[in-house]
Amino acid sequence: MAHANVQETGPAGWTEKASTLPVIGKFRDVRQEFLRKTGNPLLAIEEISFDLFEGHLVSLLGPSGCGKTTFLKIVAGLVKGYTGTVQINGVDVTDPHPDVGFVFQQPNLMPWRTVIKNVTLPMEIRKEAGPEATARAHELLKLVGLEGFEDAYPNQLSGGMQQRVALCRALVHSPKLLLMDEPFGALDELTRMDMHDLLLDIREKTGATCLFVTHSISEAVYLSDIVVVFSQRPAVIADFIEIDLAYPRTPETRYSADFTALEHRASRALGITR
C-alpha cells in the first residue's frame, strides 16, 4: 500500500520541474539491516530511492524510529553496511564526504572550546585553520545573530544558541550539501520558527543543498522544496510531495490554504488522517 504512491510519482524523485537541475545525491534501493546480538537482524530501512537535486531543500519526514537518522548517517558516510546505491556527485559514499556538513540532533559542541573555536574546528581538522577560517567563522556567527558570543563557552549559551553555533560549524567549510538531523527538535516553538527563517536565509545566501530530517509536518512543509515521507519502520517512501509554495516563505505562508492542503497530504501519507 505504501508503495502505491511511489508508482504514481513515476521514477522516484523525478519531477518535471526539477529534472533540469543537476543531481547531487542519488539514492537507489537503499536498504539497511542492523545485526543484533539477540537473534534476528533488525531491518531499519527496506527500500529508499530518490534523487536529490542541487540547491533543493528536501525534508525527510517520518514517525519516530522509522530510520530517518539511519538514512541521513548513511548519506553522511557514518553508517556502513547498507546495500543499494548512495552517491554524492556521482561517487559512492563509503566515508564522510569532505563537501558535506552535518548538524546533529544534539549540538555536540566541545564544552572546552569557545564558540569561535567550535566553529573553526572543522578547519583545524582539515589543517586549514588560520585568519581566513576565523574571519569566515565570525561572518557566520554574525549571520546567525551570535555576534559578541565568540569567546563564550557552550555551557553559557541556551539550547537555541548552541544549535546555531552547530549550524555555523557545519557551514564553515562551505559544504555543497548540508545534512540536518532534527536540528530544531529540542527547541521551543518560537525559537524554532525563528530558526526556520534563519535556515532559509542561509540556504539563500550559500546556495547549499539541504537534506533535512524532521518528524514535524509543518516544519517539513514550511522549509522544503520537496518532502519525502517515510513509512513506519522498515522505511519505504510513503509519499513524495512537491511543495509548490513560493520562496521567500513568511509566517503568513503557514496560514495559506495551499499550506494546509500540503500538510494534510503529508499527514495522510503518515497515516494520521484519511
Partner 1 sequence: MTKLLNNWRLALYPVAGIVVILVVWQLYTDLFGVSQIVLPSPTDIWGAMVKNNSLLLRETWPTLLECIYGFALALALGIPIAVAVANSRTLNLILYPILIATQSIPKVAVAPIILIWFGIGMESKLAIAFLVAFFPIVVDTATGLRATPPGLIELARSLRASPSQVFWKVQFPAALPFIFAGSKVAVTLAVIGAVIGEFVGSNEGLGNLLLTANSQLNSPLAWAALVWLSALGIGLFVIVVIAEKIFMPWAEGGH
Contact string 58-97 vs ligand ADP (x = CB under 6 A) = ----x-xxxxxxx---------------------------
Q: How far is CA 192 from CA 7, 27, 60, 185, in A?
A: 34, 29, 17, 8
Residues 207-236 that bind ligand ADP (CB under 6 A): 233
For residue 251, the 8-state DSSP code is G
Q: How far is CA 131 from CA 84, 123, 143, 147, in A?
A: 42, 11, 18, 17
Q: Give the residue nearest to Mg ion (CB).
A: 69
Under the binding rule (CB under 5 A), the answer on residue 214 touching Mg ion is no
Out of 69, 162, 224, 231, name the contact with Mg ion by CB under 5 A. Answer: 69
Q: How far is CA 9 from CA 28, 52, 75, 97, 231, in A?
A: 15, 15, 23, 30, 16
Under the binding rule (CB under 6 A), the answer on residue 164 touching ligand ADP is no
Under the binding rule (CB under 6 A), the answer on residue 34 touching ligand ADP is yes
Complete DSSP assignment for 150-209: TT--GGGS-HHHHHHHHHHHHHTT--SEEEEESTTTTS-HHHHHHHHHHHHHHHHHH--E
**Beta carbons of 177 and 103 less than 8 angstroms apart:** no
Measured from the CB of residue 19, what is the shortest distance to partner 1 in angstroms?
A: 31
- Contacting range for partner 1; rule: CB under 8 A; set: 28-36, 85-93, 120-128, 210-218: 120-128
Q: Which does 15 bind (CB under 5 to 8 A by kind): ligand ADP, Mg ion, partner 1, none?
A: none
Q: Which is nearer to ligand ADP, 230 or 240 (CB)?
A: 230
Out of 9, 49, 106, 253, name the contact with partner 1 by CB under 8 A. Answer: 106
Residue ranges in contact with ligand ADP by CB under 6 A: 34, 42, 44, 62, 64-70, 233
